[in-house]
Chain A
Amino acid sequence: MTPKVDPAGRTRRWTIPKKYVNSLFAVLLGLIAGAFFMLAIGRNPFVGYFYLFKGGVMNLKYIGQTLATSTPLILTGLSVAFAFRTGLFNIGAAGQMLMGGLTAIGLALTFEHMLPRGILLAVIVLGSIVAGGLWALIAGVLKARFNVNEVVATIMLNWIAFWTVKYGVYAFFRDPQQETQSKAIDAVASLKAPWLTSLFPGSYINLGLFLSLIALVIIALVLDKTTLGYELKAVGFNRSAAEYAGIKVNRGVILSMTIAGMLAGLAGATYWTGYSSNMQIDTSSLPSQGLDGIAVALLGTNSPVGVLFAAVFFGMLQSGKGFMTAVTGIPPEIADTIIATVIYFAAAAVLIERVLDAWRKRRASKALAATKKGGEE
Chain B
Amino acid sequence: MQGVWDLIRLIFPYAIVFTIPLLITSLGGLFSERSGVVNIGLDGFMVFGSFVSAYTIKLLMPVLPNGDLAVWIGLLAATVAGAVFSLLHSFACVTLNANQVISGTAINMIAYAVTVYIARTITGSGNITIVHGIARTDIPVLSQIPVLGDLFFKSTYATTWVVLLILVVFAFILYRTAFGLRLRACGEHPHAADAAGINVYRTRYIAVAISGAFSALGGAAILVTYSGEFNGNVAGLGFLALAALIFGKWKPLGILGATFFFGFAATIANVSQVIPFFTNLVDKSPFWAPLTLKAFPYVVTLIALVFFSKTTQAPRASGLPYDKGQR
Contact = CB atoms under 8 A, between A and B. Distances in A.
Interface stretch (B137-145, B175-183, B217-225, B295-303): B295-303
B24 to A, nearest CB: 20
Contacts of B109: 291, 295, 336, 339-340, 343
A136 to B, nearest CB: 14
Contacts, number: 143
Interface in B83-98: 88, 91-92, 96-98
Contact of B97 (A152, A336, A350): A350
A157 B301 CA distance: 10
Contacts of B107: 344
Contact of B105 (A91, A286, A336, A349): A91
Given A156-B298, A284-B236, A346 B117 contact: no
A347 B94 CA distance: 12
Interface in A187-201: none
B306 A344 contact: no
Interface size class for chain B?
35 or more
Given A148-B306, A337-B117, A347-B92, A164 B105 contact: no
B305 A336 contact: no
A146 B306 contact: yes
A210 interface: no
Contacts of A41: 118, 121
Contact of B287 (A91, A171, A298, A350): A171
Given A151-B101, A347-B106, A156 B301 contact: yes
B233 interface: yes
Contacts of A148: 302, 305-306, 309
A371 interface: no
Contact of A348 (B96, B126, B243, B301): B96
A285 interface: yes
Contacts of A91: 40, 101, 105
Contact of A340 (B110, B239, B242): B110
Contacts of B291: 163-164, 167-168
Interface of B: 38, 40, 88, 91-92, 96-99, 101-103, 105-110, 112-114, 116-118, 120-121, 126, 233, 235-236, 239-240, 242-243, 246, 286-287, 290-291, 294-295, 298-299, 301-302, 305-306, 309
